[in-house]
Structures are given as C-alpha cells and as structure tokens.
Structure 1
Amino acid sequence: MDPKIKSLPTMAFPQISGIAALGFAFLIVLGNVFLVPAGLPHAGAETGEVIAFFTTSKDIVGIASMLTPLAWVLATLFGAGAVSVLWQSDRDRGEAWSLVGFGGLILQNGAFAAVIAIRLALASTTAHDSTATTELWALHDALFMLNGTFLTLALIGLSISGLRAGLIRQWHGRLGLLAAALLFSSATLAPLIMDQAGPLGLLGLIGWLMWVVWVGTYGITLIRGGAVPIESQSHATSSKP
C-alpha cells in the first residue's frame, strides 16, 4: 500500500454516524418543507382533498420522495454508530438497550418505505378511482401513525443506553423519553385520530418535532467524539458478579 495513502487521516465511525444523524434530521425536515406548504392532506382527510393534492402536486411528491432513500441510509448509519459506542457498556451491564434502539430505526425505515410507496402510487395514478384512493390513503394514515411505535423503540433504546453509559446528558435523555411517550400515545390512539381530526393529532406532531431535535443532538454528541466515560465502563465492569 502507498505510504501516503496509509498516512491520510481517517474519520472515526462514530463521527461518521454523527454526521449521518444530522443529515437524516435535515432530510426529514426538508421533505416536510416541500410537502406541508403544498397542502399534504392530514389524517382522515376527505377523498376529494387527497385526489386534488396528488393530482396537482405530483412533482412535489416526487421531489420529496427522492430524499427518502438517502435518509434511510443515514438513519441506519446513525444507529450503527450509536451501537458501536454504547454496546460495550450495555454488555457489561447485561443489557441490550442500544440494540433495541437500532432495531427501532431499522423498523421505521421499513414502515416509512411503505408510506412513501403509497404516496408515489397515488401521485402516479392518472385516473383516480375514489374507492381505491380512499383505501390507499387510509392505509397510508395507519402506517404513518403506527410508525410512531418504531420511533418509540429508537428513542427509548438509545436514550436509556446513552444515559446509563454517560454518553448523553440528562435533558437529552428525558427529551427522548418524553418524545417516545407522545409518539407511542399517538400510535395507540391511531383509530381515534384517523376517525376524526382533532387535538389528538398534535400528540404525534409534537413528538415528531422532539424526535428531530433528539436525533440532531445525538449526532452532535457523536461528532464531538462522543465516547462512554472510562469511569462509567469501570463501574459497569466492577458491578458484575
């Protein structure tokens, strides 16, 4: 190997994953910046409103959807990087909270892939059938809200693991747990929220905004060279029987 190449500085994987976390947060916000002002229908919207949006905003739906494959890649990198930092502390405690969080990230990738697929299908349909549109949009709403379950797993797993390892600060962990409670409540109440628009829909919105802040803050922690404090690792090891 060329010694010049060997001497090039390399970025640590946790720092790469921190950048990925910031990129993921940026992309999911950017996607909504395109869709919400364009009039993306809310949960339980009338069929006519859904047809009107996907008929007149096909290009916007397409642009927003193009952002999502990269977002899913970045979410996976973020989760893997967090686990790489937290796993030793988890294992010393006989726990696996970081894996719970990583599993939540992977599952939310899958759930949201289905959400985006439904949006693309609606936008690509030239002749809208009201019955088919109603059924597809109901499925979209259900998947969108139930995805809060997977975000909950990600928030709880990486918050608890990060707190116990001393990687993240108390306020950051509490923010994650509060966001998890709101998102899980929204997922649990999905039938009521889908049935009629109302204040219950704010549970998911507020929880999602907290989720974005939580992800971005986690990313900054990892970029700054986030590592489990030595004293935390020593304590975990000494506490083993």
Structure 2
Amino acid sequence: MSFTRISGIAAIGFAALIVLGNVIVAPAGFPLTGAGIEEVAEFFSTEGDILGIGSAFAPAAWVLAALFGAGAVAALWRRERERGEAWSILGLAGLVMQNTIFAGIIATRLALTSTAAHDTSATSGLWALHEGLFTLNGTFLAAALLGLSMGGLRTGLIRRWHGAIGLLAAALQFSSATLAYWVVNEGGLLGLLALAGWLIWVVWIVAYGLALIRVESEPVHVPAIDSMRSR
C-alpha cells in the first residue's frame, strides 16, 4: 500500500477519532464556551472517567493528523514546485500547530479533573486558559484548511466544492479566533462560528482522505502544467 493511500486512510481515521471523542464527552455534559464556573467544577469533579476515556483517543488522533498532512504534501508537492507554490506546506504547518495547541487543551482538561473538587480559584484559571486555547486554535485549523484546500484546488487533487467548503470552514475558524475575547466572555451565537467551522472541517477531512486514497487510480490533470509541457 502506498504512503499516499495510507495517509488518506489516516485522514478518515483522524476524523472518526475526533468525532468519537466528542460523542463520548458531549452527552456527559461537557461545558460549552462561556459556561459558569459552577457548571465547570461540577463536570470535571464528577465526570473524570468519561473525560479520561475521551482524552485517550487524542494521541492516536494527533499521529493520524500528522500522517494525513505528510501524505497530502507528498501528493501535492511535485506539482506545487512546478508552479512555484507551497500551499501544502502551509497546510502541514497548520496541522502540526493544531496538534501542539490541542495537546495543551487536553492537558488543561486533565488538570481540571484534579482541581475542580478542591480549588475553585485554580479551576477558574485553568478553565479560562482552556477556553482561550480552544478558541485561538481556530487560527491553526484555518491555516490547515486554507493551505491544503488551495494546494488541492490548484493542482487538481480535490474538486471545487471540496475546496469551497474548506475555505468556508477556514473563514469561520479564523473569524472565531479573531473574536476570541468576545467568544470566550459572551459565548452564545459567536460560539456557533467555531462549531459550524468544526463540523465542516470534519466533512472536509473525510473528503480529503478519499481524494488521497484514489489519487493513484485517477490521474490528476492540471491544464496549465500539461500545456506548458507540450510546448
């Protein structure tokens, strides 16, 4: 099995794991952005096992995300170099940074399970840090979406609708990160920006994984490059 195909499977696996992690913790009452400290303390002091199970998927998800990004670069880089571009590198950098930031988010959640029942001030500070990191992480999701969507579109790897939803999700995530102060302090409708962007991001990842899986069986046609070679 080729590396590109493995990376496509990794993309789908990554999407499945992040959805599964949320399916586990969300029904248990995981606090939404803007939640009061009483709700936060109640959840983290009583649902530590659920959070632990949900967090257990994170390391595998990070490895799969990095593998997906590396495979996307492998599929795009040769044609990008011919065009004098490096969109895929931007996308890979975004994935690596979102892995790094989300490691901090998971570590903060685990720390909250230790403080929630004993120290209100520490819990309040850790939750504020968690919300800030979680919201600002949209910057790096936006970079991943922008880079890999543009790279995929300009080399012919992905279809126009796929690139369009990627750019839409990038705009939503970047808007949420830009408005982080108001998202964290007010929540409500502003919090839906990141949620909508995240849902589109999951669909985009699965579609990208399928594109990488089929890349060898369906030759990529880039008119601008092909025409130059024929001259």
Range class of TM-score, shorter chain: over 0.9
Q: Distance in 2 between matches of 1:230 and 1:61?
A: 43
After TM superposition, the score normalised by the length of structure 2 is 0.95
1:203 matched to 2:193: yes
Could you tell me whether the CA contact under 8 Å between 2:42 and 2:116 is conserved in 1? no
Shift of 1:238: 2.6
Q: Which amino acid aligns with 2:8?
A: G
Q: Distance in 2 between matches of 1:208 and 1:227?
A: 30
Q: Distance in 1 between matches of 2:227 and 2:100?
A: 36
* Secondary structure in 1 matching 2:85: coil
Residues 66-114 of structure 1, C-alpha deviations (whole Å, 9 max, x = no match):
0000000000000000000000111111110000000000000000000
Counterpart position of 2:141? 151
Unaligned runs of 5+ in 2: none
Q: Which amino acid aligns with 2:187?
A: A
Unaligned runs of 5+ in 1: 1-10
Q: Which amino acid aligns with 2:143?
A: L
Q: Which amino acid aligns with 2:84?
A: G
* Secondary structure in 1 matching 2:109: helix
How large is the RMSD of aligned CA atoms in angstroms?
1.7
Aligned with 2:26 (options 36, 39, 42)? 36
Q: State which drifts further: 66-75 or 39-48.
A: 39-48
1:217 matched to 2:207: yes
Q: Which of structures 1 and 2 has the bigger CA Rg? A: 1
Q: Which amino acid aligns with 1:133?
A: T
Aligned with 2:130 (options 140, 160, 166)? 140
Q: Distance in 2 between matches of 1:214 and 1:146?
A: 20
Shift of 1:44: 2.1
Q: Which amino acid aligns with 2:34?
A: G
Counterpart position of 1:90? 80
Q: Which amino acid aligns with 2:106?
A: I
* Secondary structure in 2 matching 1:168: coil
Counterpart position of 1:129? 119
Q: Distance in 2 between matches of 1:136 and 1:195?
A: 15
1:78 matched to 2:49: no
Residues 104 and 129 from structure 1, CA distance in 2 versus in 1: closer, same or farther, beyond 3 angstroms?
same
